[in-house]
Amino acid sequence: MEKNGGRVVSSVELAGKCRVKAHQVRKDLSYFGEFGIRGVGYYVKDLLREIKRILGLNKEWRMAVIGIGNLGSALLSYKDFLKQNYKIVAAFDIDPAKVIGRVSEKLGKPVEVLHISRVKEAVKERKIEIGLITTPASEAQNVANILVEAEVKGILNFAPAQITVPEGYVVKDAFFTTILDNLAYLLSST
Amino acid sequence: MEKNGGRVVSSVELAGKCRVKAHQVRKDLSYFGEFGIRGVGYYVKDLLREIKRILGLNKEWRMAVIGIGNLGSALLSYKDFLKQNYKIVAAFDIDPAKVIGRVSEKLGKPVEVLHISRVKEAVKERKIEIGLITTPASEAQNVANILVEAEVKGILNFAPAQITVPEGYVVKDAFFTTILDNLAYLLSST
């Protein structure tokens, strides 16, 4: 809407696009503050800014990839991260062969692969907030522990393993069978 | 434990493996029924059966893949589904070139690709309960609508698009940037 020059949008319009009811749009948004104008709707630019703020997308998230196999390498060259305010600023592996001189060539600025022992130091220097775990399942919890020790608060786990972290840390699973198990559970219990 | 011949397991042992507290294990399990024996622990075989039941893994989940591109094809030949009681019993695409004669060769029993117009009929015949959406983002909601109309209650969405479904249906996102957005939101709001 912003790109198309839209200035104002009503809750009815928004509801149509989101396939929900207009009163639900108004109710949900009002939960975060009063940025609608009765009888008018929402200013597109203001609403966009507010939604980005609500979703945590008004900032750059600095990420590290741990485990530079096929998936890790693919993530290093995934260009759409940049569009979405995510940036991979470090990569780690335990294999010295991968650490020496290996860089992601497809990104504008290459990311060098560091040895896993350097996580804590790099997290501090590069202000890393999210760790992407792309190791084999057997290593996932160990890597999570290393990230927790380095106070990386968010983990996206691509390994097919359940990971536990202390309170105050957040793990989301990105491996599809783990998500499928969760779906099966929800289907069973409804 | 069952494979290693274990007969009984204590909540302390379970807690150690799950990296949680023993009282939490007892509390969580007791929520689903009384299958622990005070002073003894849990019979491994019984506990395994109960946990499978709780998680909805004591049955075979029959699935369809919609969208036979790279990812859809990869899922069709993903062998570990079978280990986990998931079975792909149908595949759909809109492209006639993919529909004619194309089958997954890597599975024991090939899955033929049907035209998308045949979803409702196949869902009924093959008792499909979960749909995996592997289409481009632009088609994801349309496919979800088709699955909902066919009363497929669970959807695993691999497309980078937000999908909405009516009450009583469950969608889980399997595309990593969607999961990452969710993680960013959780990190922002804690």
Q: What is the pLDDT of residues B66-92, one digit of tens each?
A: 999 888 888 888 877 777 789 999 999
* pLDDT of B149: 98
Q: In percent, how much of chain B has pLDDT > 70?
A: 94
* pLDDT of A36: 84
Residue B56 to chain A, least CA–CA distance (Å): 5
* pLDDT of B107: 47
Whether B54 shows a pLDDT value over 90: the answer reads no
Phi-psi region of A35 (alpha: psi -120 to 50; beta: other; left: phi over 0): alpha
β-partners of residue B49 are none
Secondary structure element (H or E) that encloses residue A10, with its range = none
From chain A residues 24-53, the ones with a CB under 8 A of any chain B CB are none
Question: Of A54-68, A113-127, A169-183, B93-107, which gets the smallest average pLDDT?
Answer: B93-107
Please answer yes or no on whether B57 and A181 come within 8 Å at the CB atom: yes
Whether A190 shows a pLDDT value over 70: the answer reads no
pTM for this prediction: 0.76
CA A153, chain centre distance (Å): 12
Please answer yes or no on whether A158 and B177 come within 8 Å at the CB atom: no
Eight-state DSSP code of residue A116: G
Q: ipTM, 2 decimals?
A: 0.80
CA distance B52 to B48: 6
- Residue pair A130/A108 in contact (Cβ under 8 Å)? The answer is no
Whether A68 shows a pLDDT value over 70: the answer reads yes
CA distance B102 to B65: 14
Eight-state DSSP code of residue A3: T
Whether B190 shows a pLDDT value over 80: the answer reads no
Residues of A in contact with B52 (CB under 8 A): none
User: Residues, chain B, total?
Assistant: 190
Q: Region A43-62: what's the mean pLDDT?
A: 90
Pairing of strands B61-66, B130-133: parallel
* pLDDT of B104: 52
Name which of B21, B55, B180, B186 to mutate to probe chain A: the one with the most chain A Cβ atoms within 10 A of its Cβ. B180
Q: Region B40-63: what's the mean pLDDT?
A: 90
pLDDT in tens, B93-128: 998 788 765 555 554 567 889 999 999 999 999 999
Q: Closest residue of A to B152, CA-based?
A: A187
Q: Region A136-146: what's the mean pLDDT?
A: 96
pLDDT in tens, B16-27: 888 789 999 999
